[in-house]
Amino acid sequence: CNPMHAHPRHTSRYSIFPRGFFTPKGQMQRTIISIDPRQTDTAKLADIHLMLNQGHDYELFDAFRTVLRGYDIPDEVAGIKKEVIVKSAEIMKKAKFCMIFFGMGCTHTDGHNHNIDAAISLTRDLNNHTKASIMAMRGHYNITGPGQVWSWQFGFPYCIDLSKGTHAHMNPGETSSIDLAMRDEVDCFVNVGTDAGAHFPIPAVKHLKKHPFITVDPNFCMASEISDLHIPVRIAGVDEPGVVYRMDNVPIQFRSVIKGLPGVPSDEELFDLVYERMCELTKTEPVWLAAKADRKYPQNPAVS
């Protein structure tokens, strides 16, 4: 990850520069190790920059675990010399508190979810020697929110398959939206609060465009440009009050700061309307209709 560009306030408020109760001298009392195949601005701030070979994240994590368990490793792993790997592992092992931040650089290279499995296993091994934790450097605004809600509703934070009916199923590499799209198993795609047009692989987008493509987003983006239908909604924390989860899973209650445009619903209102319409078409009674009978929704021609 490269928080100097992707998360500009991260280094100044959370990771490198802030002064804390146990680190009153801030950066001077921290050792920064950057793992990145590029010479990024974050890597320039680091005490050690491990410029690994592209796509060899798993091998490097595995080498760290091997050293921590007291075994020998080859003279070079993932393009990094043995001495540097051993030195970095010793620094993590002897730290009072080791924090691992990982970004999409791990999930978008060879290994994908297995890279994260290895990183979590490394964190578990480090806890045999010191206190260690791991956190994902999430991308979009409030992207942690769905992960929290899905976790307490279904037991899984992502890649959720509800097609079995009786229970939720999760299998990264099989049930993620990109995996389903790459296999052309999706006959209708609803893009909510993200930009699949910009962030999905081109082959996946080509398959999705064969079928109905709907985007629910307050902004114009690449996904909305290629969509068959673009439904604008209000933004939580801007023109709609709501709970937003910070990247470290702390919920924050936001109030609206401006008045929303007339006729533009919130996400919740939109999906309530869609759900009610689906119940009408299937001639079933909405389970929560009585509880929300008094709610008034704005009339939106695009929705109705």
Q: How confident is the model at residue 164 (pLDDT cuts 50, 70, 90)?
A: confident
In DSSP notation, 26-85 reads GGGG---EEE-SS--HHHHH-SEEE-PPTT-HHHHHHHHHHHHTT----SEETTEEHHHH
Question: What span, in angstroms and rounded, lies between the C-alpha atoms of 190 and 274?
Answer: 12
Does the pLDDT of residue 5 top 80, yes or no?
yes
Q: Give per-residue pLDDT as tens, 97-141.
A: 999 999 988 888 888 889 999 999 999 999 999 999 999 988 778
Q: How confident is the model at residue 296 (pLDDT cuts 50, 70, 90)?
A: low
Mean pLDDT of the chain, nearest integer: 90
Indicate the SS3 state at residue 238. coil
Domain ranges within the chain, ordered by starting residue: 3-136, 145-260
Handedness of CA 236, 242, 246, 248 (dihedral sign): negative
Q: Does domain 3-136 have CATH number 3.40.228.10?
A: yes
Residue of 261 and 231 predicted with greater confidence: 231
Does the pLDDT of residue 297 top 70, yes or no?
no
Is residue 280 exposed (0-12), middle (13-18) or buried (19+ Cβ within 10 Å)? Answer: exposed
Cβ atoms of 74 and 80 within 8 Å: the answer is no
Nearest to 192 by CA among 274, 292, 280, 297: 274
Question: What span, in angstroms and rounded, lies between the C-alpha atoms of 36 and 34?
Answer: 6
Supply the pTM of this predicted model. 0.79
Q: Give per-residue pLDDT as tens, 37-96.
A: 999 999 999 999 999 999 999 999 999 999 999 999 999 999 999 999 999 999 999 999
Residue 155: both structure tokens together: 């037991």
> Under CATH, which number does the domain 145-260 receive?
3.40.50.740
Q: What pLDDT is stored for residue 301 in this prediction? A: 43
Q: How confident is the model at residue 304 (pLDDT cuts 50, 70, 90)?
A: very low
